Amino acid sequence: MTVSSAPGKVYLFGEHAVVYGEPAVPCAIERRATVTVESRDDDRLRVDAEDLSLDGFTIEYGRGTDETPDVDVSESLIRAATGYIDASVEQVREATDSPNAGFDITVESDIPLGAGLGSSAAVTVAAIDAATRELGVSLPSDEIADRAYRAELEVQDGEASRADTFCSATGGAVRVEGDDCRAIEAPDLPIVVGFDGGAGDTGKLVAGVRTLREEYEFAADTVESIGDIVRQGERALAEGDIDELGKLMNFNHGLLEALGVSSRSLDNMVWAARDAGASGAKLTGAGGGGCIVALDPSDETETALRFTPGCEDTFRAELDTEGVREE
Ligand code: MEV
């Protein structure tokens, strides 16, 4: 039996625009997905998802598409949960040259699903690390990041950046621009997260931005402007200038809102954080619902979010300097 965990993340800047080659800066946070893997002596997979902030389920299935798992949860949930696991296992079979490997896989996570905190990247990264090690192969973190990216690409119909998976594999603050992924220095950031209890459909949201960008030149310009904010944000990050970071996050949220990926509950939480004195606040991840990230060293933002209609949970998130690790 082999166990690995990998962190979730928040985007300080640059989600969506990163899909079109602009830079982005995600930061790993101390919320993890933990994946336990045990080899089987056949080529089947058994997935046990206990704690994904949804009803847990266990399914066992083979490779035939005609095989529908007999469980009492929605098919779309099964597809979402098993899609990333299937794609990860394909990467593991290829990396270890074991085309017929089968596994019992247990996923536990304290990262809400589809809420902008990188749950799928964390599960994919941890699954690839645990399953390859289970077969006696230890991959360097950049190869895990690359294979996890390829798994995400497959599940998300070719629409994904390297940002989520690289950040989860490496930990800390990172900068991603196209294929160029690197760790960057970050000061202690007073990160507060607000969660509306919902989730967005990353594929649909990314496709929506693509359509807008193709339809309107000013939408394409908006995507480029997000890139400009990220470049300015990198300087503020290097200088540890929290007020400037906050201002730029506010600007970034405005442009994401213009691109149609915010929601009423995300906007409510962003405004509650700003009114409470946060240096800045924005949605994080694909949007449509899920989480916002704010910067506030005081307790005011958390207190305000607790009383904000539509906010289901709020917590302080420490930067996690450790990426994927053996448990
Ligand atoms: C989703 O967490 C972030 C997006 O930029 C998509 C991606 O980078 O793959 C919306």
User: Domains of the chain by range and CATH?
Assistant: 2-184 (3.30.230.10), 191-316 (3.30.70.890)
Q: Tell how far the Cα of 114 is from the centroid of ligand 1, in angstroms.
A: 11
Q: Tell how far the Cα of 29 is from the centroid of ligand 1, in angstroms.
A: 16
Beta-strand pair 102-109/45-51: parallel
For residue 249, give every residue at least 6 positions away whose Cβ sits within 8 Å of its Cβ, in sequence order, or none: 12, 13, 233, 279, 280, 281, 282, 293, 294, 295
Give the nearest ligand 1 atom to 286 CA: 10
Averages of pLDDT over runs of 10 residues in the chain (327 residues) are 97 97 97 96 87 53 55 60 88 97 92 87 96 98 97 85 96 97 94 93 90 98 98 96 98 98 98 98 96 98 97 95 97
Length of the chain in residues, anyone?
327
Does the beta carbon of 16 lie inside 6 Å of ligand 1? yes
Q: How far apart are CA 113 and CA 120, in angstroms?
A: 7
For residue 73, give every residue at least 6 positions away whose Cβ sits within 8 Å of its Cβ, in sequence order, or none: 55, 57
Sign of CA dihedral 16, 122, 323, 10: positive
Q: Tell how far the Cα of 38 is from the centroid of ligand 1, in angstroms.
A: 30
**pLDDT at residue 69 in the model:** 55
Q: How far apart are CA 275 and CA 125, in angstroms?
A: 37
What pTM value is reported for the model? Answer: 0.92
**pLDDT at residue 68 in the model:** 53
- H runs (alpha helix) in the chain: 75-95, 119-134, 141-155, 163-170, 202-215, 217-239, 242-258, 264-275, 300-306
Does the beta carbon of 18 lie inside 6 Å of ligand 1? yes
Q: How far apart are CA 230 and CA 226, in angstroms?
A: 6
The answer to whether 326 and 35 are in contact (CB under 8 A) is no
